[in-house]
């Protein structure tokens, strides 16, 4: 038979291991979330920089949330979202730029 002290030791070790694994999981989720945010911001900045070179900026106009509006080679209007993706706009979504 396993002695009582040995059983208590196994239970204590199991609880400790479970707590450590749970701590690593939550820490990994935080790192993953931060990495995604940094990746999205980097993509957005890179795409916006490329758009300033390749496409025209629609002067005096802005998107529904105050975003810079670009015009591509096919005369389509769009803005770049926070994840670095192009969001094409309908004419009704483009408004005159608000002065601060």
Per the domain annotation, does 33 fall within a domain? yes
CA 23/CA 27 separation, integer angstroms? 6
Q: Could you tell me which residues are beta bridge partners of residue 76? A: none
Q: Does 1 fall in a domain?
A: no
Task: Say if 91 falls within a structural domain.
Answer: yes
pLDDT at residue number 14: 65
What pLDDT does residue 91 have?
93
How would you write the pLDDT of the chain (100 residues) with one tens digit per residue? Answer: 556 666 666 666 666 666 666 665 555 556 677 778 887 777 777 777 777 778 888 899 999 999 999 999 999 999 988 888 899 999 999 999 887 6
Within-domain flag for 76:
yes
Residue 10 lies in a domain: no
> Can you give the residue range of the structural domain that contains 50?
27-96
**Predicted pLDDT at 48:** 76
The whole-number pLDDT of residue 26 equals 53
Q: What pLDDT, on the 0 to 100 scale, is given for residue 62?
A: 92
Query: Is 16 a member of any domain?
Result: no
pLDDT of residue 93: 93
Question: Does 14 reside within a domain?
Answer: no
Residue 63 lies in a domain: yes
pTM score? 0.59
Number of domains comprising the chain:
1
CA distance 58 to 78: 9
- For the chain, how many residues are written? 100
């Amino acid at each position: 038979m396993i002695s009582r002290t040995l059983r208590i030791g196994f239970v204590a070790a199991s609880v400790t291991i479970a707590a450590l694994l749970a701590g690593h999981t939550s820490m990994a989720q935080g790192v993953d979330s931060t990495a995604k945010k940094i990746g999205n911001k980097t993509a957005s900045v890179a795409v916006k920089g490329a758009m300033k070179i390749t496409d025209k900026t629609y002067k005096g106009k802005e998107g529904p949330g105050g975003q810079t509006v670009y015009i591509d080679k096919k005369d389509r209007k769009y803005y770049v979202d926070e994840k670095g993706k192009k969001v094409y706009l309908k004419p009704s979504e483009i408004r005159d730029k608000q002065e601060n």
